[in-house]
Amino acid sequence: MNTGDLKDTLTKLFSADESQTSVLLTGAPGLGKTSIVAQAAAAARKPLVTFALPTCEAVDLRGLPTVVNGRTHWNSPMPHDGQGVILLDELSSAPPDVQVAAHHLVWAEKGSDMSLPSGWHVVMTGNRASDRTVYRAISGPLRNRLTIIGVEADISQFAVWAMGAKIRPEVIGFLRWRPELLTCKEIPADGAFPSPRSWHRASDLLSLSVSTNVERELLSGTVGEGPTSEFAAYLRTVRELPNIEAILAAPKKAEVPKSPSLLYALTTNLAQYTREYKVSAMPYVTRMPAEFSLLYIRDIRDHYEIASDKDIRTWISEHKTLFERE
């Protein structure tokens, strides 16, 4: 399931007054599984309680035992009333006894000291055995009590999130051009590798005032040597593009690049500018290939009043078939 569908699905699950199922999200490191749970909980207006399981002991989930009337009673630290979301993060990296305690939470055995109120939703995250992380197999009985969802990165959803998170346009444009480099298909035994999380860090590094050689070393140590080789070449070209103000000063005359890589970069830059300053670039964008004009409109439509923009309305009316395919 891609990240956009996942957020919508979790939001619907969390919005229910009673939990319908406990969920396990699996996928490669750096996909944003934890942050998506937080976003969905916020969208459902539910409080979120997070346990980083690799740093926990079983007692952190189960509580300390006391003897009451000759019987052992476990003082569970879990909620005893209300509604919310409990995130048990990195289940597959947790010690066996912590996994057992997590199992008791979703087991919901009647009368158990660890039974949760029906309004609390349990979500777990974990990596896969192939991800070269600290991995401990999850027992069959626990997996059988969960709805397991495999999480996959999607460049369209990443771009939507990245623009809202102020990720550098150079990064978004590059990944739109080379979407296969958003994530690593086979995680190496050592060294850096690309993921949405590492590209976020790479974006931050572009703000540093360092030499080109130092910048490349930093990027290589963040997203890996292979992606950095392509990204560095892309940056050299993109940094020679005219600035947005120069383009908007003469939108009918400013040169329109022909290279798809540059068009992705420029479209993203223009959309970011419009989103931030509420200034339309449509007089220039209409001169770009139709697919890039459409991309620009899709990027700005939730952040700019396109209905009041005559140029955008005219372009849409002339390209209705493109919108019918969406």
**pLDDT tens, N- to C-terminus, the chain (326 residues):** 888 889 999 999 999 988 888 999 988 888 889 989 999 999 999 999 999 989 888 888 888 888 888 887 777 888 888 899 999 998 888 888 888 888 888 876 555 666 788 889 999 998 877 666 667 778 888 888 889 999 888 898 899 889 888 899 899 989 988 999 998 887 887 889 999 999 999 999 998 988 989 999 999 999 999 999 999 999 988 888 888 888 999 999 898 988 898 899 899 989 999 998 999 999 999 999 999 999 999 999 888 998 888 999 999 888 877 766 55
Let me know whether 205 and 264 are in one domain. Answer: yes
Global confidence as pTM: 0.78
Let me know whether 146 and 161 are in one domain. Answer: no
**Domain final residue pick, 150, 165, 199:** 150
**Domain final residue pick, 124, 150, 176:** 150
Give the three-state DSSP class for 175: helix
Let me know whether 171 and 98 are in one domain. Answer: no
What is d(CA 196, CA 303) in angstroms, rounded to the nearest whole number?
23
Give the three-state DSSP class for 261: helix
CA distances from 4 to 192, 224, 228, 316 (A): 26, 26, 27, 25
Let me know whether 206 and 302 are in one domain. Answer: yes
| Residue pair 27/128 in contact by the 8 Å Cβ criterion | yes
Let me know whether 8 and 122 are in one domain. Answer: yes
Let me know whether 42 and 97 are in one domain. Answer: yes
| Residue pair 124/145 in contact by the 8 Å Cβ criterion | no
Let me know whether 130 and 223 are in one domain. Answer: no
Provide the Cα torsion 155, 158, 162, 164; round to 10°: 120
Let me know whether 35 and 84 are in one domain. Answer: yes
What is d(CA 27, CA 129) in angstroms, rounded to the nearest whole number?
10
Residue 137's domain comprises: 3-150
Structural domains counted in the chain:
2
Let me know whether 178 and 316 are in one domain. Answer: yes
Let me know whether 186 and 300 are in one domain. Answer: yes
Let me know whether 133 and 160 are in one domain. Answer: no
**Domain final residue pick, 115, 150, 185:** 150
